[in-house]
Amino acid sequence: MIRSQLKELVDHCFSQGVEQGFWTDAAAGLYNVEVPRHEGQGDYATNLALVVAGKEKCNPREVAGKLVELLKTDGSMLDKVEIAGPGFVNLFLKPSIWSSVLAPIDEQSERFGLTNIGNNMKVMVEFVSANPTGPLSVGHGRGAILGDTIARLLEATGYNVTREYYFNDAGRQMRVLGGSLQARYLELLGLANEFPEDGYQGDYLYEIARAMIDEVGDEYKDADLDLFRKRAQDAIFADIDATLKRIGITFDSYYNEHTLYEEGLIDDVVTKLRAKGLAYEKDDATWFKSTEFGQEQDRVIIKSTGEPTYRLPDIAYHREKFRRGFEWMIDIFGADHIATVPDVMAGVEALGYDNSKIKVILHQFVTLLRDGHQVKMSTRKATFVTVDELVDEVGTDVLRFFFLMRKPDSQLEFDLELATAQSQENPVYYVQYGHARLCSIERMAADKGVSIPELATADLDRLQEPEEYQLLKTLADYRAMVAGAARDLAPHRVIFYLLELAGHFHSYYNKHKVITDDQQLSGVRLRLCKGVKTVLANGLHLVGLTAPDKM
């Protein structure tokens, strides 16, 4: 908000410079106004002079000098301006400017920070898409929370978002799943059976088999594999869906892989590639000429057995995303998909679509630590820790917060001791306790008869402490932070912001009393605290966390 107002001022001065012949408009839209990295370099700084000098082939400090003179003619926002380094211009705002952020926070309340920069663009976020062959693992959980939070950010900034789960219910893995359940069912009945090679070992198959026996006894002992495949798929997906709802995730649509086969879309992709001379036969297999699109080697898309490789349905599915009218497609995959992505991108391009409209985010693996040692085994299911087990131990809020604390491409170490700590060492507790403490301050004020004044009557000039300015500056950055996090698909920035804002508040609270003997000062400080409380709550809700009023 304040940054955008300042950018408008700098833009105005740039235009004045063009009108007065100081420079041309070649640098229009290429410069920025940013928060400096170091203290003492202003509240904001602009690189306008450097960009203009690069275009005009002139001295950047001379350009900076002209910009400073133009800025000084507007006395509404700036306290002083300085030239720094090779030509940066540091901008120092009047102290009274900062308190202006409280008015829109008060007016917009829970809508503060929302924008319409997405202009209703139709976006699909595909995430989770875990094969229905077992419970959700911790790795799937990271992708689930990352995808859901990206969708929340895009919705908060005006995009028309569809959350989709690609339901992979075809292929060899599902046949193996059906065979695994059939073997467990027969085993529990005491009948001879042969467990499939590479079969699924998890105890969850015993649970499904027991439920079948409770329901029908040995009625299915001679049933075909497809019945067991469907029973396993339905039971496992119901478990996945329940887990996702438990951590606050629902989907707008599901797309089944078998649809691609039933509607002839797989065959149609191959036909289209052949017609373009981009598919050929070799060694009884069908190959895609992916080398035509920058790949090091061509790829098999139909095996000699007649079964498609994973690339082909993925290419067909992404073509359907374009056909369904999505303007931006975001895929959230685990790092093990890294080899798949170039093949799908090449296939989409080969079919005549703009693959720059597809953004793939690959997230790294999660390592669970307890007492500094890696947790490798689940106590209940297979050889992996499930999302449900982790939620049982740390809770949904902690799970979401910790999974968002690192950039997706960074490996995440999930410290269980820290996650369960009820102290300010725990970053989730640190932020949520800030909100609870602010609620407590308001209750304390009400008990003492101190009310929060209306903005029109509050003497906000009394907010003069350095810690108060810091809080106001941080509040002023919230809307731009949300917009940037959405634009760059970077939800970790919201977490960083919440930790920063909570940190500034805790420092302020530890140094200054909010409720004092001075009723007017107390009221103004309560005004500030109300703004901080609103933004903390908005940020927590934005990433799917609660904002408790007591802890």
Domain membership of residue 141 (yes or no) is no
Is 445 within a domain?
yes
34 found inside a domain: yes
The number of angstroms, rounded, from the C-alpha of 187 to the middle of its chain's C-alpha atoms is 44
List Cβ<8 Å contacts ≥24 apart for 244-248: 244/128, 244/136, 244/144, 246/388, 246/391, 246/396, 247/141, 247/144, 247/145, 247/387, 247/391, 247/396, 247/399, 247/400, 247/544, 248/148, 248/396, 248/400, 248/544
Predicted local distance difference test score (pLDDT) of residue 548: 97
| Last residue within a domain, chosen from 65, 93, 121 | 93
In a domain, 31, yes or no: yes
Would you give the DSSP letter of residue 307? P
Asked whether residue 207 is domain-assigned, the answer is no
Single out the residue of 239, 171, 247, 246 nearest to residue 204, CA to CA: 239
Look at residue 146 and tell me if it is in a domain. no
Q: What is the CATH number of the domain that holds 18?
A: 3.30.1360.70
User: pLDDT for 489-510, tens place per residue?
Assistant: 999 999 999 999 999 999 999 9
Tell me the C-alpha distance between 228 and 177, whole Å. 8
Calculate the alpha carbon distances from 232 to 250, 265, 388 in Å: 22, 26, 19
- Domain that residue 78 falls in: 2-93
Structure tokens at 240: 């996945």
403 contacts 141 by C-beta, under 8 angstroms = yes
- With residues binned 3-state (H G I as helix, E B as strand, rest as coil), the percentages for the chain, rounded to 5, are 55, 15, 35
CA distances from 81 to 53, 64, 76, 87, 93 (A): 19, 10, 13, 12, 9
Question: What is the total count of domains within the chain?
Answer: 2
Task: Determine the Cα–Cα distance for residues 269 and 287; give it in Å rounded to an integer.
Answer: 12
**Which of 93, 117, 143 is the C-terminal boundary of a domain?**
93
CA distance 255 to 129: 9
pLDDT of residue 378: 52
User: What pLDDT sits at residue 284?
Assistant: 96
Any domain includes 147: no
Indicate which CATH number applies to the domain containing 435.
1.10.730.10
Number of neighbouring beta carbons within 10 Å of residue 313: 23
Let me know if residue 166 belongs to a domain: no
Of the three residues 93, 119, 141, the one that is the final residue of a domain is 93
Give the pLDDT score at 377: 53
pLDDT tens across the length of the chain (551 residues): 788 889 999 999 999 999 999 999 999 999 999 988 887 889 999 999 999 999 999 999 999 999 999 998 877 899 999 999 999 999 999 988 999 999 999 999 999 999 999 999 999 999 999 989 999 999 999 999 999 999 999 999 999 999 999 988 777 888 999 999 999 999 999 998 899 988 998 889 999 999 999 999 999 999 999 999 999 999 999 999 999 999 999 999 999 999 999 999 999 999 999 999 999 999 999 999 999 999 999 999 999 999 999 899 999 999 999 999 999 999 999 998 998 999 999 999 999 999 999 999 999 999 999 888 888 755 444 567 899 999 999 999 999 999 999 999 999 999 999 999 999 999 999 999 999 999 999 999 999 999 999 988 889 999 999 999 999 999 999 999 999 999 999 999 999 999 999 999 999 999 999 999 999 999 999 999 999 999 999 999 999 999 999 99
What percentage of the chain reaches a pLDDT higher than 70? 99
